[in-house]
Amino acid sequence: MRVTTGSTDRVTDYATRFAAFLDAEVAPLEAELAARDAGTAWNPRLDEAGRMHPAVWEARREVQRRAAAADLYAPHVPSGGGFTRAEMQHVEEYVYRHAGLGLGLAALAWTEGPNPAIEHCSDAAREQWLDPLLAGEITAAFANTEVHVGTDVLGMETRARRDGSDWILDGTKAWITNAHFCDVVQITAVTDPGAGTRSLSMFLVDARAPGFTRGRDIPTMLDDGLTGELHLEGVRVPAEDVVGEPGDGFALAMAWINWRRLCRGGMCAGWGSWLLDRALERAQRRTSGGSPIAELQAVQHMLADMDADVYTARAASLQAQAELDALPGGAFGMPLDPAAPRLMSLVKVINDEAFLRVADRAVQVHGGTGLRKGSPEEKLYRIARNLKIPAGTVEIQRNAIARGLLRGAR
């Protein structure tokens, strides 16, 4: 029996309800999607413009709406379930392990849903944007990156200037997940040039606003048709759609990004365990020289190394998330506790690198089958390679860890 450090009754309750939801709600939708010639949730066909096939997007949307109605969609934000980060690691691990690469993954809000940064919005914006996001009625995107600026966030060129009580936004964002489908975008823009970490503000931009246009798809090795460009030409944003205060944009962007960093803990433990389950099953079924390859020491060592990586990354992440929960402002406090960045970066770098090794070994145990396009091993290997870049590269995590150490945050 597995001892689940830091788990609680509401985690158990979530897992029980999620398992029932997969059977009752997701399985029929997955069968309906399979009958269309649209691909699957995580290997979708793409349209002529390279975007996710609309039938796959709509199936995911339906799962999101049903999950919200079943109170499964937003356990991670205060306006939703208000779970701690340690609880969320257990929830995320359960979801990723049991949904695998299926439609069920959409049941737990990903970057298209509510997030810790948008919780700082005004009452008017809560009614217009946050409540519908919590209900799965609309989807969001987070737009920080630009063509010339990724890591170097403070070098961004998108500008917002005041016009009466409104703001006018101009610029182009690139590499934005859910650029093609989002209803609202959390955009960071320069409002006070030269003010360093106070130079940016975050705006909620209505995707129907005049001057807002969706640009080209940016095809990546994920092949999911979800990443693209967004253009803003004189887009007018009312004062109530500034998130937090003007000047809070950098801190709010970091809250969003740090949330994604922490989600690596449960994601990699869940998918890592799923890959290990599949590798164990394959090794016992596949034979070489008349015996299962599981009897070969070379294969046993790969299985053992997968277990070691999943186990250590999972344990380290649970410890870090529990430490973050214990900080006065938690993981997303504003201002952020000085001890927090090192812990969040540890979670990201440990999981990104461990999971890439796990996915690599999973492919190797499966032999040629693991390389077959569309197999879970091949897809997760590509996802694993991707993880080392978005939400801050692994190099940037090392910068933050070293900065924390040198400031005595240990």
Ligand X SMILES: Cc1cc2nc3c(=O)[nH]c(=O)nc-3n(C[C@H](O)[C@H](O)[C@H](O)COP(=O)(O)OP(=O)(O)OC[C@H]3O[C@@H](n4cnc5c(N)ncnc54)[C@H](O)[C@@H]3O)c2cc1C
| Selected binder of ligand X within 102, 246, 370, 390 (CB under 6 A) | 390
By three-state DSSP, how is residue 292 classified?
Answer: strand
Using rule CB under 6 A, residue 144 touches ligand X: yes
Q: How far is the CB of 320 from ligand X (least distance, A)?
A: 21
Task: Look up residue 198 and give its two tokens.
Answer: 């106070």
Counting Cα atoms < 13 Å in the Cβ hemisphere of 392 gives 26
User: Is there a contact between 373 and 310 (Cβ–Cβ < 8 Å)?
Assistant: no
| Distance in angstroms (rounded) separating the CA atoms of residues 235 and 205 | 8
Instruction: Tell me whether residue 281 or residue 395 sits nearer to ligand X (CB atom).
Output: 395
Binding mask 52-91 toward ligand X (x if CB under 6 A, else -) reads ----------------------------------------
Which stretch, 6-14, 72-80, 140-148, 241-249, contacts ligand X (CB under 6 A)?
140-148
Give the closest residue to 217 by CA, choosing from 177, 187, 184.
Answer: 177
Amino acid letter, 232: L
Which stretch, 14-22, 94-102, 241-249, 387-395, contacts ligand X (CB under 6 A)?
387-395
User: What sign does the CA torsion over 204, 207, 209, 215 have?
Assistant: positive
By three-state DSSP, how is residue 185 classified?
Answer: strand
Using rule CB under 6 A, residue 401 touches ligand X: no
Cβ neighbourhood burial of 337 (10 Å; 0-12, 13-18, 19+): middle
Cβ neighbourhood burial of 149 (10 Å; 0-12, 13-18, 19+): middle
Instruction: Tell me whether residue 147 or residue 304 sits nearer to ligand X (CB atom).
Output: 147
| Distance in angstroms (rounded) separating the CA atoms of residues 329 and 190 | 26
Contacts with ligand X by CB under 6 A: the residue count is: 22
Instruction: Tell me whether residue 87 or residue 248 sits nearer to ligand X (CB atom).
Output: 248
Using rule CB under 6 A, residue 219 touches ligand X: no
Instruction: Tell me whether residue 90 or residue 264 sits nearer to ligand X (CB atom).
Output: 264
| Distance in angstroms (rounded) separating the CA atoms of residues 329 and 324 | 9
Using rule CB under 6 A, residue 399 touches ligand X: yes
User: Is there a contact between 85 and 325 (Cβ–Cβ < 8 Å)?
Assistant: yes
How far does Cα 241 stand from its chain's mean position?
A: 24
User: Is there a contact between 227 and 175 (Cβ–Cβ < 8 Å)?
Assistant: yes
β strands within 55-145, DSSP E = 140-143
Using rule CB under 6 A, residue 142 touches ligand X: yes
Q: How many CB atoms lie within 10 A of CB 291?
A: 9
Using rule CB under 6 A, residue 220 touches ligand X: yes
Q: How far is the CB of 186 from ligand X (least distance, A)?
A: 9
| Selected binder of ligand X within 158, 199, 227, 321 (CB under 6 A) | 227
Q: How far is the CB of 410 from ligand X (least distance, A)?
A: 21
Residues 189-208 that bind ligand X (CB under 6 A): none
| Selected binder of ligand X within 40, 177, 258, 351 (CB under 6 A) | 177
Which stretch, 228-236, 268-276, 332-340, 390-398, contacts ligand X (CB under 6 A)?
390-398
Task: Look up residue 34 and give its two tokens.
Answer: 């399979």
Q: How far is the CB of 176 from ligand X (least distance, A)?
A: 5
Instruction: Tell me whether residue 167 or residue 175 sits nearer to ligand X (CB atom).
Output: 175
Binding mask 111-130 toward ligand X (x if CB under 6 A, else -) reads x-------------------
338: DSSP letter:
T
* CA distances from residue 206 to 60, 139, 154, 210 in whole angstroms, order as listed: 21, 11, 24, 9
| Distance in angstroms (rounded) separating the CA atoms of residues 369 and 14 | 34
| Distance in angstroms (rounded) separating the CA atoms of residues 285 and 124 | 58
| Distance in angstroms (rounded) separating the CA atoms of residues 25 and 184 | 27
Instruction: Tell me whether residue 53 or residue 282 sits nearer to ligand X (CB atom).
Output: 53
Instruction: Tell me whether residue 191 or residue 273 sits nearer to ligand X (CB atom).
Output: 191
Using rule CB under 6 A, residue 150 touches ligand X: yes
Q: How far is the CB of 291 from ligand X (least distance, A)?
A: 42
Instruction: Tell me whether residue 217 or residue 309 sits nearer to ligand X (CB atom).
Output: 217
Using rule CB under 6 A, residue 393 touches ligand X: yes
| Selected binder of ligand X within 33, 138, 143, 299 (CB under 6 A) | 143
Instruction: Tell me whether residue 310 or residue 349 sits nearer to ligand X (CB atom).
Output: 349
Using rule CB under 6 A, residue 145 touches ligand X: yes
The site for ligand X (CB under 6 A) is made up of 111, 142-145, 150-151, 175-177, 220, 222, 227, 386, 389-393, 395-396, 399
